């Protein structure tokens, strides 16, 4: 009985010892887990702080560098175009105030508007080239005719008034109301095309204040065209030339085309100032042509 009691006491003692060891092991493991969590938190805080510092420094200096780059002025201007009345230097002078400003921030629309204010510039194309070069392509106005002595008219019929004495004396002259520049250019183009096959050109075309049209040709002939049906009247003149009723070599002072069915010619007699008038109808012109055949 005594031995059995001792055995039980020993077994209980061993069990208690194991429990103490197990509890000690668990306590140690808990301490290890606690230390790992602590170090993990410290590491996260350090990494986050370093990243925030790097981002802040980069943002500050990066923004400063970017702003400095954007503020850099245009260092080179390349002007291109076929120039007759302008020069590359004169174009550069027009944008001189813009060149000193920021390459990127500069408003190209404002620069283009400033260039188009020059009467001889018809169109402008602007292009930036990295890092600080500006390309300017200019289309110069094509003057088709002079607007009396106050400017010129381009091929579209746009009236461009200028006080610069750059207009060629070889250009034809158009005269009329400023609001009729497009109409005058249209009539001029029609006359030029119609007379071209007879090697005649228009030197002067005008529409006066009361709406009467008149023209002077390159050979000195004066055409009286009246108020209406200008195209039809020119066709009658062409018929007269084709039917040889009027020869290009003829000494003609003026041709009155205001008749409904023909024209009247004032001839210069014997090279002096005396004039002789002759009226020819379309029927007579046709009859003359049939006799020649």
pLDDT digits (tens, 9 = 90+) for 248-263: 887 888 999 998 888 8
Predicted pLDDT at 16? 55
- Mean pLDDT for 187-199 is 94
Task: State the maximum Cα–Cα separation within the chain, in Å, rounded to a whole number.
Answer: 177
β pairing state of 76-80 and 133-140: parallel
A 10 A CB-CB count for 116 gives 13
pLDDT digits (tens, 9 = 90+) for 2-52: 455 554 555 555 455 555 555 555 555 555 545 566 567 776 666 676 566
pLDDT digits (tens, 9 = 90+) for 69-110: 556 677 788 999 999 888 899 998 888 877 776 655 557 788
Predicted pLDDT at 283? 65
Residues 262, 280: contact at Cβ < 8 Å? Answer: yes
Q: Over the chain, what is the mean pLDDT?
A: 77
- Mean pLDDT for 162-182 is 81
3-state secondary structure the chain: CHHHHHHHHHHHHHHHHHHHHHHHHHHHHHHHHHHHHHHHHHHHHHHHHHHHHHHHHHHHHHHHHHHHHHCCECCEEEEECCCCCCCHHHHHHHCHHHHCCECCCCCHHHHHHHHHCCCCEEEEEEEEECCCEEEEEEEECCEEEEECCCEEEECCCCEEECCCCCCCCCCCEEECCHHHHHHHHHHHHHHHHHHHCCCCCEEEEEECCCCCEEEEECCCCEEEEECCCHHHHHHHHHHHHHCCCCCCCCCEEEEECCCCCEEEEEEECCCCCCEEEEEEEHHHHHHHHHHHC
Q: Which of 194, 203, 275 shows the shortest CA–CA distance to 242? A: 194
Predicted pLDDT at 202? 96
At which residue do the structure tokens 């002096």 appear?
Answer: 272
φ and ψ of 189, to 5 deg: -65, -40
Q: Which of 262, 248, 183, 244 shows the shortest CA–CA distance to 220? A: 248
For residue 192, give Cα distances in angstroms to 35, 221, 234.
Answer: 101, 14, 11
Paired tokens of 107: 């408003």
Residues 172, 218: contact at Cβ < 8 Å? Answer: no
Paired tokens of 59: 């943002």
Cβ-Cβ contacts under 8 Å for 34 (sequence gap 6 or more): none
Q: Which residues pair with 211 in a beta bridge?
A: none
pTM above 0.75, yes or no: no
């Amino acid at each position: 009985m005594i031995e059995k009691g001792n055995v039980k006491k020993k077994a209980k003692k061993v069990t208690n010892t194991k429990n103490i060891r197990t509890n000690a092991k668990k306590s140690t493991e808990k301490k290890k887990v606690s230390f790992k969590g602590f170090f993990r938190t410290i590491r996260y805080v350090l990494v986050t702080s370093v990243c925030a510092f790097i981002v802040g420094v980069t943002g500050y200096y990066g923004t400063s560098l970017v702003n400095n780059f954007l503020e850099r002025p245009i260092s080179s201007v390349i002007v291109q175009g076929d120039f007759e009345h302008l020069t590359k230097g004169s174009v550069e002078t027009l944008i001189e105030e813009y060149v000193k400003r920021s390459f990127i921030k500069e408003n190209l629309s404002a620069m283009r508007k400033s260039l188009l204010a020059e009467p001889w510039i018809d169109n402008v194309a602007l292009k930036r080239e990295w890092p600080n070069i500006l390309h300017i392509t200019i289309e110069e106005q094509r003057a088709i005719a002079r607007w009396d002595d106050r400017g010129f008219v381009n091929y579209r019929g746009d009236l461009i008034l200028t006080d610069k004495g750059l207009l060629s004396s070889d250009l034809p002259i158009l005269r009329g109301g400023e609001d009729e520049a497009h109409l005058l250019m249209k009539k001029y183009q029609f006359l030029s095309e119609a007379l071209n096959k007879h090697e005649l050109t228009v030197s002067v075309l005008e529409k006066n204040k009361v709406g009467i049209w008149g023209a002077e040709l390159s050979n000195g002939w004066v055409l009286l065209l009246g108020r209406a049906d200008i195209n039809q009247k020119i066709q009658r003149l062409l018929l007269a030339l084709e039917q040889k009723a009027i020869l290009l070599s003829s000494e003609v002072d003026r041709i009155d085309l205001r008749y409904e069915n023909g024209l009247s010619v004032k001839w210069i007699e014997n090279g002096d100032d005396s004039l002789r008038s002759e009226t020819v109808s379309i029927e007579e012109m046709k009859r003359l042509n049939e006799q020649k055949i």
